[in-house]
Structure 1
Amino acid sequence: MRTGSEPATARSPLRMRLWLTVWGLLWAAFGTVAFALVGRPGWAAACGVLWLVVTVDLTMIVRHLRQGPHYQPGRDIPPYPPPEHRHP
């Protein structure tokens, strides 16, 4: 159902983001260790920075999931009503 107010009432698919972030976290950790073992410190550092960014993102996703249905509504929660536009 399109209402025209999607940017203001959009909901993030947090569970999908959670699993994609976990996938990225595993690859960043693997890349950091693998590049460090083969003697590529630049690539290891780049993967380490990515690992840090993904960890922060994962922390925010978990925080939003724990805040309840406002951030991750279930199927029984209807979509937000479109904002009312008042014409002067």
Structure 2
Amino acid sequence: MRTGNEPLNARSPLRLRLGLAVEGLITAVAGAVIFTIVGRPGWAIACGIIALTAAVDLIMVVRHLRQGPHYQPGRDVPPYEPDRGGRR
């Protein structure tokens, strides 16, 4: 059940996800370059796909961070009632 103070104590995981996406992008690009130099095109392509995925995730995280906080109910909004599983 919602206690009513979640909006005040909520923490966004976007900054952690941003750091992980940057780390994944750097690692995947480095892996693609190294595997290309060594002559392993299959592994280089795999690292390139991972780098592309990390880049898309990075773009999405930055977009969400720039949007800023969204509506959060204030203190005057009562807690939600638990779902009792019945029909309305």
2:22 corresponds in structure 1 to 22
Shift of 1:69: 1.1
Which residue of 2 is the match for residue 7 of structure 1? none
What is the TM-score of this pair, normalised by structure 2?
A: 0.70
- In the alignment, the residues of structure 1 paired with residue 28 and residue 38 of structure 2 have an alpha-carbon distance, to the nearest angstrom, of 15
One-letter code of the match for 1:15?
R
Over the residues paired in the alignment, what is the CA RMSD in angstroms? Answer: 3.5
Letter aligned with residue 2 of structure 2? T
1:64 match: 64
The normalised TM-score by structure 1 is 0.70
Q: Secondary structure of 1:3's match?
A: coil
Change (3 A) 1:23 1:82: farther
Q: Distance in 1 between matches of 2:79 and 2:22?
A: 33
Percent identity, please. 57
User: Which of 1 and 2 has greater Rg?
Assistant: 2
Name the CA distance, whole Å, in 2 between partners of 1:81 and 1:24. 41
1:1-88 equivalences under 5 Å are: 3=2, 12-70=12-70, 83=80, 88=88
* Uncovered stretches (5+) of structure 2, i.e. residues with no partner: 4-9
SS in 1 for 2:63: helix
Distance change in 2, residues 1:60/1:31 (3 Å):
same
Unaligned runs of 5+ in 1: 5-9
| 1:14-35 alpha-carbon deviations (Å, 9 max, x no partner) | 0000001101011000000000
Q: What stretches of structure 1 move > 3 A for 4+ residues in a row?
A: 80-88
